[in-house]
């Protein structure tokens, strides 16, 4: 029987259990994956805690990203075959189709091949981060080389993807970090400038770096009181993409900055792209081509074995990571 990760109550990382469960068969439009590696995402921590957009039905599986080999194909699953080397694209219910474990069943539409130059560990570290950044900056934002992008939580996998996509476009990538210990890493990872927010005034520094204009796009998963500072750093007509809620504090709307600058403050998640068939195809093509050319390159912070899944979650919650946390199976 395959080992599967589930939780029977919401809470801290210690609620995660490694259980031996019967191997199940894929249903209509589904495929089964022999999992090789699992990519961790902050959304899974929130789901485990019962604080996500989707509520778990207990006992619940979890997990959006896995790479591996298809070992069974359900009826009506088109364009996929046993033996295909694929990874999952987060576009499904995390509890129903959770991928944490040695075996996972997912919808056939939610799998994609990845370039041969990537390992299984790298292959599970691509779709959530690059599709999220692609949707905001490229598909909705129509990012241009003359634009400046302010990226918060920049050492996360999505933040790093946003920096790489910004650089691939030729635009200016400004990353933020609270402490100076990640500054050189972010510069090495592709950011043009790094603002250490514990030491520098965020808005003043952004305005200086952009010759007085401010940032045209702001890509933020934090929210909370930070939003007001981001609005101060924004250019006239800028768009602020809020794609997460890492702050536990209320998020006040920056009314006066929005009025003065004509700002757009936009809630956004990857599901907007995943649920639009044409945008989904555009995103997969953009990411695949970028990975194949080397313009996009997943950065792996650390790997954990499946049995240490709780430790992997605790490590993610520590905010020490510089890139993707991966669990190997």
Domain locations in the chain as residue ranges: 3-126+298-328, 129-271
Q: How far apart are CA 174 and CA 156, in angstroms?
A: 14
Nearest partner of 47 among 108, 6, 85, judged by Cα: 6
Domains 3-126+298-328 and 129-271 share a fold: no
- DSSP label at residue 268: -
Residue-wise pLDDT tens for the chain (329 aa)?
A: 999 999 999 999 999 999 999 999 999 999 999 999 999 999 999 999 998 888 999 999 999 999 999 999 999 999 999 999 999 999 899 989 999 999 999 999 999 999 999 999 999 999 999 999 999 999 999 999 999 999 999 999 999 999 999 999 999 999 999 888 899 999 999 999 999 999 999 999 999 999 999 999 999 999 999 999 999 999 999 999 999 888 889 999 999 999 999 999 999 999 899 889 999 999 999 999 999 999 999 999 999 999 999 999 999 999 888 999 999 99
Q: What residues are paired with 302 via a beta bridge? A: 325
Q: Are 63 and 43 in contact (CB under 8 A)?
A: no
Residues with Cβ within 8 Å of residue 50, at least 6 apart in sequence:
10, 56
Distance of CA 78 to the CA centre of its chain: 27
Tokens of 291: 């990975």
Q: How far apart are CA 19 and CA 1, in angstroms?
A: 9
Q: How far apart are CA 101 and CA 92, in angstroms?
A: 17
- pTM for this model (two decimals): 0.91
Residue range 121-133, pLDDT digits in tens: 999 999 999 999 9
Pick the CATH number of 3-126+298-328 from 3.90.180.10, 3.40.50.2300, 1.25.40.10, 1.10.1740.110: 3.90.180.10
Tokens of 162: 């946003």
């Amino acid at each position: 029987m395959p080992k599967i990760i589930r939780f029977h109550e919401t809470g801290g990382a210690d609620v995660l259990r490694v259980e031996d469960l019967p191997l199940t068969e894929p249903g209509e439009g589904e495929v089964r994956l022999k999992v090789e590696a699992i990519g961790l995402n902050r959304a899974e921590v929130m789901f485990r805690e019962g604080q996500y957009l989707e509520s778990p039905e207990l006992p619940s599986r979890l997990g959006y990203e896995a790479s591996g080999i298809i070992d069974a194909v359900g009826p009506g699953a088109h364009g996929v075959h046993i033996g295909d080397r694929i990874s999952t694209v987060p576009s499904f219910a995390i509890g129903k189709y959770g991928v944490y474990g040695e075996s996972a069943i997912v919808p056939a539409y939610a799998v994609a091949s990845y370039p041969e130059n990537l390992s299984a560990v790298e292959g599970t570290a691509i779709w959530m981060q690059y599709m999220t950044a692609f949707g905001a900056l490229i598909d909705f934002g129509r990012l241009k080389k003359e634009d400046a992008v302010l990226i918060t939580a920049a050492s996360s996998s999505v933040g790093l993807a946003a920096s790489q996509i910004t650089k691939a476009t030729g635009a200016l990538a400004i990353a933020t970090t609270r402490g100076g210990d990640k500054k050189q890493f972010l510069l090495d990872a592709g950011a043009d400038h790094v603002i250490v927010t514990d030491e520098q005034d965020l808005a003043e520094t952004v305005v200086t770096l952009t010759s007085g204009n401010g940032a045209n796009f702001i890509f933020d998963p934090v929210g909370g009181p930070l939003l007001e500072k981001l609005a101060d750093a924004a250019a006239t007509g800028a768009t602020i993409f809020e794609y997460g809620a890492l702050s536990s504090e209320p998020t006040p709307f920056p009314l006066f900055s929005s009025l003065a600058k004509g700002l757009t403050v936009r809630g956004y998640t990857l599901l907007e792209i995943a649920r639009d068939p044409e945008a989904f195809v555009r995103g997969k093509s953009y990411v695949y081509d970028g990975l194949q050319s080397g313009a996009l390159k997943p950065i792996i912070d650390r790997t954990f074995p499946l049995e240490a899944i709780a430790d992997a979650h605790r490590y993610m919650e520590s905010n020490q990571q510089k890139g993707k946390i991966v669990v190997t199976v």
